[in-house]
Structures are given as C-alpha cells and as structure tokens.
Amino acid sequence: MKEQRRGHGGWKRGVGLMLAVALGACAGKAPPPREAPVRAPSNAELAGAELNARVEALLRQMTLEEKVGQLAQYSQGVPTGPGTGRADHEQMVRAGAVGAFLNLVGAKETNRLQRLAVEHSRLKIPLLFGFDVIHGHRTLFPVPLGLASSFDPAQVEQAMRRAATEAAADGIRWVFSPMTDIARDARWGRIVEGSGEDPYLGAALARAYVRGYQGASLAAPTSVAASVKHFAAYGAAEAGRDYHTVDLSDVSLRQVYLRPYQAAVEAGAATLMSSFNTLNGVPATGNPYLLTGILRQEWGFNGFVVSDWNSIQELVNHGTALEGAAAARQALTAGVEMDMEGNLYAPELPRLVRSGQVPEAVVDEAVRRVLRVKFALGLFERPYADETAGPPAPTPESREQARRMAEASIVLLKNEGRVLPLGDAVQRIAVVGPLADSRINMMGCWPARGDAREHVTLRDALERRWKGRVVYAKGTDVLSPGTEGFQEAVKAAASADAVIAALGEEARSMTGEAASRTSLGLPGNQEQLLAALAATGKPVILVLFNGHPLVLTGLQAHARAIVEAWYPGIETGNALVNLLSGEVNFSGRLPVTLPRGVGQVPLYYNQLSTGRPPGAVDLTRPPTASENKYISRYIDEQNAPLYPFGYGLSYTDFAFSAPALSAQGLKAAAVPRQGAALQVKAQVRNTGAVEGTVVAQLYLRVRGASTAQPVRQLAGFARVHLAPGEAREVVFPLGFEELSFVNARSERVVEPGTHYDVWVGDSSEARAHVDFMME
C-alpha cells in the first residue's frame, strides 16, 4: 500500500521552481510564486483564512526594507554562539528592521524593546522573542536524553507545558526546542539534547514536546511556539563530530532520521530550525530538497524556518557560496525565512531584490510565514508580558512535577545481590565523588533560567534522609589527574556500611554543543577512585551523571549497583534518594545502546542484518581455526552491547506471555492510513514482591521486503504499573505507521508477501514471539 505523496519527482519540480524563480529574475522575467503544498496543512492554526487575510493586508503596506526586517533576528543578552555583534538594535527596532530577538529574557526587558516596535515603528509589528528552553525554563527537568528514558510522552508533555508557562511569563513566546535529531553515535556531544537512537520513540516524544509547548492554541498567553531542530539529520554527523558532514541514503533519511521531525510538524509545530551540517553534499541551510521539497510540498508546513546561529554565513565555509550575498540568496530561495544572528539578510536582500537576483515574491512568501506565527501567537493583540506578576520561580507543585519526572527517567543498570534498595542494615553511608554535591552540574547543559542555588544535590538529600549518618568526601575533580583526595574518600568509605560514588562528566563543558568526545570512559582519574573505593570491600553504588552514553565495561567489577541518572534537574537529590531507598521503584529504560567499547560506535539496536550474520557462533572469544572466520564480527570484542536499548532493572520482576494477534493474516491493501489494522495482545505479570512499573515494548522485523529492514524496530510501548502478583493485558495497535517502511523509490509502503516477526518484552532483547504474513 503506497503512501499518497510526492517522491523524487515532486521535490525536483519544487526545486526546479525555486531555481526558475531566481534564474528567471536574472533574465528579467516575472517570477512565479512558490508552489503550494500538495497536502492538507499540518499546522491548521497558521492556515486560517482570517489570519491569512490579516497577513496579506499588512504585507501590502510594507516597504522592501520592512519586509526584510521581519526576516532578521539578533541576539541580546548572553550569546549562544560566536558573536557577529551589533550595537544599534534599538534604532533598528524603531525603523522596523528587526523581526525577532533571542537571548533577551524577562518581562521588563522584552517589554522595553517591544514598546519600541509596537509604539514607535511605522507599522507597529510586534517582535518575537526566542530562547533555548530545552528541558525547562525556571523549573529544570531532566535533560532530554533523561526525559526519553521515561518512555512517558504524557509526562514529558506536562513538563513542557510547565516550561512554556514559565517562559511565557518571562517574555519568551518562542523556544528553540524540541531537538528531534536521531543520534546513534555516543561520541556526539548533542546526543544529550535529543531522545536517543530510535525513530518511533523519537516521534512519540516530538509530538509530546510540541503539544506541551504550544498547548491547545498558540494564541493562549501561556503558549509558546516550538522550533523543531535541527532540520535535518544533524545527529548523523560523521565520526560523532559536531557540525560535521552527513551522508545518507534517501531510504535511511526518510525511514529513520526524518520521522521525528515529521511527527512534530504533524503535531502542529510552528517553526523549524535548519541544521549546521551538509546532507549528501548540500548544506541543510541551503537545501531546497529538505526545506521546500519535503517540508513544504510533502508535509504541507505553513510556519517558518529559522537558520541556526550564523549558519547562512557558513554556506561560504561549506563552499556552496562564494560570498555573503550568494549565501543569503541560496538560503532564502531554498526555504530559510529568518536569519539568526547572521547579519546577511538585512544588508544583502534589498540589494539582491533591486538587482533582480532575488524576486520580491520570494521575500513576500518568507514574510508571510513569519507574520502568520506572530498573528497566531496573538502578539498583535497582546504584545507585552505581564510585569506585575514578577519573574517566574519554581513552586512546590513544579518541584514535585520535576521530582516525579526525574524518578521516571533514572535507569537502574545493575543491582548485584540486590544491594539496592538501601535497607535498615545500612546505618552509615559514605557519599563520594565530584558530582555528589555539585548543584551546577545537576542543571545539565542548556539550563535556561535555572538557578543552581535551588537545586538539590545527592549529598543534600542523603543528609536529610539519614540525619547524622552520612559522611562526604569529594575524592577528586571530574578532570583531575591527581589522587590527593583519594585518602579522605577511602577513609570515608571504610567507615560506612555502603558507599555511593557520584561520578561522570561536567555538564556544560563535556556535553551538549561542541562537546564531542573520542573516549567514552569516566574522565580524569574517576575510575581509579572507584577502584580504590571498591578495594575497601564495602558495597559501592555507582551513580552516573553524564550526557554521553558512557563505556562502563571497566567499571562493572568495581560497583555492585550502577544507576544511570543523566542530569536529573532541580530535584536531583530527592528523586535519587527516593529510588535508592526503595520508596519509589526504578522504571526508567535506556533510549540509547551502551557499547562495550568505543570501537563499536556507532552502535544501535535497529541495525540491518548482513549477508553473513554471526548466527550461533560464540562471539565472547576470538574465532578458532575450526570456525568460519568470514562472518560479520569483531575478533577482539563481542558485537553485542553492554546494555541494550530499552533496558532497565526494577526492584521487582516481570514476566510476559506469548503475544497473540487479533487476526491471522493481513492484506496490505487494507492497512488504513489512520487507525489500527491489527492488535497485538500480551499479558505482563509482576512476579516479584513489591509494586513496580514496567515499560512493555513491542518490536517488529519485516522480512521479504523490497528493501532490507532492521533486525528489530520499536513499534509500540506502554508504561504498566502492577502490584505484586498482579497481571494485566497490554494491547499494542499496529497501523500504517508501525507496519510501513520506505522502499527504493523513497515511498513509504506496506508490501504484500512480507513476513512480520513480533516480539514483546521489557527491552530490545524481548523473547516472547509471534509472527504473521502480509497478504
């Protein structure tokens, strides 16, 4: 069953149109308008007739300079990239030469510039203020990779609703989030900002972010416009090196990397941000295939695209433009409406239009898209933030929400001998490590307006819970090569019944943008410290604070328990102590695969099979002379990860029944575009002694398809809370989204004659199985 949409031919017609616009103008011909979308609009608020009539009426009044002004964004406040620098912003606002600002935060500060625009510019067009609200604004939730570990889109949506409310109260109506880049390379620093390696989970969370930010209507005073980033495939940078090249087949691009972006657009995202990378030789910021062919023609996107910081100017570095004017022309005609801190559109576009190199119709269409978002946000009716309420601050309710979110996001990886939870026999606890009492690191990267003084550390919470029975020693710094603090740490460990080692990465310098790593172990001498603590003979619980998926192979022998906390946000300590004490059960699951060694990277569960899979060969040792050497394997390491995607332990155990199908056999032609074609049912039982929540996961494999499909791919998940001994039936609907794949013609299809394997369990290594044929 083919999806009804344009393939390559559609985008080629669109690209041809854009080139005809530019080249026709050079020849003195009247330019045609941009081609209309071939699909129904995915963001209906921006397609309203009344709204667009207001846009057209305003557009007719604008001079060329005022139009170009709407396409220019400048940074105020703390910059988030290499500065380009201007000091005349107020004068520019009065002249209508600015459309948006970023990094200016606070109702009083944003209102000051907004008054210049609304009360002193000729057309009184309000400004749009944007900010990097990534995992909370004042109340910081876990970093996005941690949020993804919850496998709980509903709770993530509620967290982002809170973030939107706080940001709007602070004068921000536009947030540069969610980051929906699929990331399969643990070396990439920005893996911490996304939802991991899986497109199905990524799509579900992308919808949740957009719904949370934008609410029921963009016009609501507490709603903010989302900016989905980075379009597209930024997470596939070669060698995990930030800003680097991406080279993908169109099948991989569409089947894996585009799915979360598309889900966000279909959820109504008002804006997107172009990415820094090239894609198949064409920079994303000047890529008409992505920005016009796919985004607008195929997906029917009605909002606008903003460049990433100075990425239009960077087209010159990429080598597709010789100088700034050519870069501006390339980006605008490809489909980038707003220039973020690049200072190219404002000086170059008027001259390019007047010289006939860029048709004014292309500028008009860009301005329409920007104005649509401003009208939809209600900025013309309510341009000012409320200064009387004062700046937003965390509340008891928002802190409780952040704590619950953190509890759902933290993953228990190892619990040898059930050393956790910490029981009554533990009278004295040693908490050791550079991250045990570091408030600023609990904030993670991109902390928005979070205040480190408000964050609860692991040491804080332990000392409150075990009053007078906690001894603390820092031991070392994150990057320290020396062992000066080891003696104090070992002494503390020796005096305790249990040792909690809080180790990991520095959040801001070692994770996030421009923080790629070639080694993925604990930095500095932290592994040495861990070994010294273990040598005391006391049980060591390793709590990791990190943004990269780390290689934990060498740490396994030193820790009886391993807890992957990521950076949990404002309620870090309280959430962790609730989990470590057993007051709350662990339920987080890995949204990424943890490798045994960096040599396995990029490593992800949903890979394609090879023509020479290992089969039943024992990969835990090198091949012997009698074995077939010529299979897809390493000679010095297993293929398998240390911990697989979807994995996480609990204080209880769960068992899954064999899955059952609601029908035997399914006709490809009968699979509907919307709704379920088939249901998979399985019973899950809590076989342990305490209540707990399991993330039930469904995986598919398609065999006999026209293009090779992954050995497994996530196609459903659900959080299920069960009392001891309780069982519940979990139902997974399978529709077009789950059953389809991309064929060699870049069409998403369901093909007859294909065989589907189905597994249900609590990780990507699920074993309960059923299968069916697609007729």
Tell me how crowded residue 557 is: count the other CB atoms within 10 A of its CB: 9
- Euclidean distance between CA atoms 668 and 2, whole angstroms: 9
Residue 164 scores a pLDDT above 80: yes
Residue 763 scores a pLDDT above 50: yes
- Residue 617: its pLDDT value, please? 87
Q: Where are the alpha helices (DSSP H) in 335-394?
A: 345-354, 360-376
- Euclidean distance between CA atoms 126 and 306, whole angstroms: 17
Tell me how crowded residue 147 is: count the other CB atoms within 10 A of its CB: 31
- Euclidean distance between CA atoms 275 and 461, whole angstroms: 40
Residue 63 scores a pLDDT above 70: yes
The number of CA neighbours under 13 Å toward the Cβ of 251 is 13
- Euclidean distance between CA atoms 459 and 462, whole angstroms: 5
- Euclidean distance between CA atoms 615 and 98, whole angstroms: 61
How far is CA 691 from each of CA 306, 343, 584, 652, rounded to the nearest angstrom?
47, 58, 9, 7
Report whether 239 contacts 318 (CB < 8 A).
Answer: no
- Residue 105: its pLDDT value, please? 96
- Euclidean distance between CA atoms 475 and 65, whole angstroms: 60
Strand 713-722, strand 692-703: pairing: antiparallel
Beta strands in 319-428, from DSSP E residues, in sequence order: 339-340, 411-415
Q: What sign has the CA pseudo-torsion 462, 464, 466, 470?
A: positive
Beta strands in 94-224, from DSSP E residues, in sequence order: 100-102, 128-131, 174-175
Terminal Cα-to-Cα distance of the chain (whole angstroms): 11
Residues designated as active site? 308
> Using omega within 30 degrees of 0 as the cis cutoff, is the peptide bond preceding 602 cis?
yes
Partners of residue 730 on adjacent β-strands: 682
Residue 142 scores a pLDDT above 70: yes
Residue 680 sits at the vertex; the CA angle it makes with 676 and 685, to the nearest 5 degrees, is 140
- Residue 622: its pLDDT value, please? 84
Structure tokens at 721: 């809370």
Q: What is the DSSP letter of 125?
A: P
- Euclidean distance between CA atoms 467 and 226, whole angstroms: 44
Partners of residue 25 on adjacent β-strands: none
Structure tokens at 650: 């609990």
> Using omega within 30 degrees of 0 as the cis cutoff, is the peptide bond preceding 727 cis?
no
CA 39 from chain center: how many Å? 26
- Residue 3: its pLDDT value, please? 40
Could you read off the pLDDT of 497-536 as tens digits, one per residue?
Answer: 999 999 999 999 999 999 999 999 999 999 999 999 999 9
Domains and CATH numbers, the chain: 44-133+172-376 (3.20.20.300), 396-580 (3.40.50.1700), 654-774 (2.60.40.10)
Could you read off the pLDDT of 205-244 as tens digits, one per residue?
Answer: 999 999 999 999 999 999 999 999 999 999 999 999 999 9
Lowest mean pLDDT among 10-19, 328-337, 601-610: 10-19
- Euclidean distance between CA atoms 620 and 639, whole angstroms: 9
pLDDT, mean of residues 628-651: 95
- Euclidean distance between CA atoms 80 and 59, whole angstroms: 32
Residue 4 scores a pLDDT above 80: no
Nearest CA-CA partner of 450 in 99, 19, 102, 136 = 136
Residue 327, H or E segment = helix 324-334
